[in-house]
Amino acid sequence: MKGLMMDYALTVPSILRRAAQVYPEKEIVSRMSDGSKVRITYREMYERVIRLMNALREMGVKPGDRVATCAWNSYRHTELYFAVPSIGAILHTVNFRLFSEQVEYIVNHAEDKVMFLDSSLAPMIATLQPALPCIQHYVVMDDKSEPPTVTPTPFSDYEALLAGASSIESFPDIDENLACGLCYTSGTTGQPKGVLYSHRSNYLHAMGECMTDSFGISERDTVLPVVPMFHANAWGLPYSCAMVGAKQVLPGSHLLGSPIANLMESERVTFSAGVPTVWRVLYQHLKQHKHDLSSLRLIVSGGSAAPLSLIEAYKNDFGITLTSVWGMTETSPVGTLCRPRAWMDAWTEEQRSVVLPKQGIPVPGIEVDIRGENNEVLAWDGQQAGEVVVRGPWVVSDYFKNERTEATLTPDGWFRTGDIARMDEYGYMEITDRTKDIIKSRGEWISSVDMENLIVQIPKLQEACVVGRTDVTRGEAPVVFAVLKEEEAEEGVKEEILALLATKFAGWQIPKRADIHFIDAIPKTSVGKLNKKALRATLEEGS
C-alpha cells in the first residue's frame, strides 16, 4: 500500500522563499577586495534574486541551460546560487584555479551559455574568451578590486542588469529530480568529470548539514565558508545557512591568515569550514596576533586529512574545536564527520588522540562500506583496509553526459570513491590512502597517509608528503618530501624521521635515507591538496 502523504518537491527555490519569509532581517556580509564590507538581508537578497531570475530569462536562459560562474565567495555569487536553479537552469560553478586548458575544457564540455565573473578575474577570462565559443553573454561583478585592464567583450555589468530587470515574481514548478548545479571534479586523473546535483540532492544535503550531530547549522550560527563556492558548492553551506536563517560571512578572495581572523572576530563567527592549509596558516597568524575568537564553536576541516598536531594545537592554544569532515565533489560533498561519542569524554587524552584525526562516522543519509579487491565486504574491525564505497540521496550515480566507467559503481550499485580506509568497530573511518597514491612494495601496501601523519609530528617540520617511486627490487619504494618550519635547519631531521618511522613501520617499509628530500613547499592542487602527481613527476624527471 502506498503512503498517503503529499508529493512535495524538495527544491532550491523553496529554501529561498523560506529564508525571505521567516528570516527577512538576517544578514549576508561580504568582504570586498578593497577590504570594505557589503551587508544585505535575506529579504533584500530575495528581491535581487527575483530581478536576477528575470534578467536571466531576458538573456534567453531556458530551463536546463548551464550558467557558469567564475567567482569567489560573495553575496552576488549567493544570489546566483538561488536565481539560476529557480528558473530551472543549472548553475555551473567553475573552478577557475585549474589549468587554463582545463577551464576551457569544462566550460565547453558543459556548453555554458552565460558566464558571470568577478571583475578581478576579467583579464584571465578575456584571455580564454576566443576558446569559449559557447558563451553568449558575459556579466561582470565589480568586486572592488583594481579596475581590470582587459575584460571579455561585450559584457554587461551585474548591477546595471539587475536595475534594468523586472521585479515580477514568477516561480515555475520544478521537479525535484531535475538538475540544479554542476561541479567538475578537479581531474587529478584524466579530464575533470561533471557532477550534476539535483534540487532534491541539494535540499537533503542541506538538511543533513543542519542536523545537530552533523554541522548542526542553526539560526544562531554565523557561518564563514572559507571553502570556495566553486569547490563542491562551498560544501553546501549557502543552502544549509539559508534553510535555517544562519548569518553568512563571505570572505571574497582573501582566504589566508589575517583577513579571515579579522572577519571571524568582527562578525562573531561561530562556524567555519575550509581545507587544512587554511587552518594551518590561520594558526600561525593567531600565534603572532591577538584576536578574540571566543564566538567560534566549530571549525570543520576537509578535502585532505587534518593532522592530529593541528587539531591539538587549536584545542590547547586557543580552545577551538577543529573537526575532520570527509567528502568528495561526487558526494555533494559531506560523507563523514569526526564527532567523538559522548562516552569518549571520559577518555584520556591519549585514547582520544586515536579517534580525533580519523575522518569520522557516516552522516545520517550516507551509507559507507569498505570492500576488498573482489568487492567483498570487509569487517569494521579497525584492521582491514579496503576501498570506501558509499550510497545515499546526495551521492552521484553517473557523471554528466554519461561519462560513467565500469569503475564508477560497484556491481551492486555503490559509488566507488577511490579512497582506501579502515573502519573501526564504532563506525569511525580512517583514510589510509587513495587507490592511485598507494605504494605497493614487495606486493604489500604501504600507507602513505599513515607515514605522513607520523612524520609531521616532528616539531621542526611544517609539512610532509610521501609518494612511491619505482624500485627494481621492491616494485615501489616510499619517498619522503618534507618542509622545514621557517626557522629550522635540516641537521639531524632525517635521522629523526627514520627513528620515528621505525617505531611504527616494519624495516622493509621504511624509506632509504637518500629518499628523504627537503623542499621549500609541497606543490598543491587547485583546491589546496598535496599534489602527489606533481611530486611523482619530479621524481620521474630526476631519474
d(CA 514, CA 262): 44
Whether 347 is a known active-site residue: answer no
Helix 75-86 with 237-244: angle, nearest 10 deg: 90
CB of 152 to ligand ADP, least distance (A): 27
Q: Is the CB of 328 or the CB of 501 nearer to ligand ADP?
A: 328
Distance CA(17)–CA(316), nearest Å, equals: 42
CB contact set of 373 (below 8 Å; sequence gap of 6+): none
Q: Is 359 in the site for ligand ADP (CB under 6 A)?
A: yes
If one asks whether residue 205 binds ligand ADP (CB under 6 A), the answer comes out as: no
Among 208, 302, 386, 392, binds ligand ADP (CB under 6 A): 302
C-alpha count within 13 angstroms, C-beta hemisphere, residue 173: 4
For β-strands 334-337 and 194-198, DSSP reports them as unpaired
Angle at which helix 12-22 crosses helix 237-244, to 10 degrees, equals 40
Interface residues for ligand ADP in 384-423 (CB under 6 A)? 417, 419
Asked if residue 323 binds ligand ADP (CB under 6 A), the reply is: no
Phi, psi of 431 (to 5 degrees): -70, 130
Q: Is residue 367 flagged as an active site residue?
A: no
Least spacing, CB of residue 255 vs ligand ADP, in Å = 16
Q: How far is residue 83 from each of residues 155, 200, 226, measured CA to CA in Å? A: 19, 16, 22
CB of 310 to ligand ADP, least distance (A): 12
Which residues does residue 182 pair with via DSSP β-bridges, in sequence order?
92, 196
CB 437, min distance to ligand ADP, A: 8
CA-to-CA distance for 255 and 72, rounded, in angstroms?
10
User: Which residue lies nearer to ligand ADP by CB, 399 or 481?
Assistant: 399
Annotation says 111 is catalytic: no
* 527 contributes a contact to ligand ADP by CB under 6 A: yes
When the beta carbons of 363 and 510 are compared against ligand ADP, the nearer one is 363
Q: Contact with ligand ADP (CB under 6 A): which of 30, 74, 185, 240?
A: 185
Is there binding between residue 328 and ligand ADP (CB under 6 A)?
Answer: yes
Closer Cβ to ligand ADP, 119 or 448, answer by number: 448
Please report whether residue 253 would count as binding ligand ADP according to CB under 6 A: no
CB of 527 to ligand ADP, least distance (A): 5
Residue 262, all three cell numbers: 579579522
Going by the DSSP 8-state scheme, the letter that residue 120 receives in this structure is G
Q: Cβ–Cβ contacts within 10 Å for residue 129, how many?
A: 16
Q: Which stretch binds ligand ADP (CB under 6 A): 32-40, 85-93, 185-193, 281-289?
A: 185-193
CA 61, chain centre distance (Å) = 28
Task: Provide, rounded to whole angstroms, the least separation between the CB of residue 139 and ligand ADP.
Answer: 27
Which H or E run includes 501? helix 493-502
14/329 with CB nearer ligand ADP: 329
Is 236 an interacting residue with respect to ligand ADP (CB under 6 A)? no
User: In the annotation, is 11 catalytic?
Assistant: no
> Is the Cβ–Cβ distance between 393 and 365 less than 8 Å?
yes
Given the rule CB under 6 A, which of 82-90, 92-100, 298-306, 506-514 is the region that contacts ligand ADP? Answer: 298-306
Residue 326 interacting with ligand ADP (CB under 6 A): yes
Among positions 54, 329, 432, 509, the unique one binding ligand ADP when judged by CB under 6 A: 329
Which among 93, 185, 323, 329 is annotated as catalytic?
185
Burial of 310-346, coded b for 16+ CB within 10 Å and e otherwise, reads bbbbbeeebebbbbbbbbbbbbbbbbbbbbbeeeeee
| Residues belonging to the chain | 543
Kindly list the catalytic residues: 185, 330, 440, 445
Contact positions toward ligand ADP, by CB under 6 A?
Answer: 185-186, 188, 302-305, 324-329, 359, 417, 419, 431, 434, 527
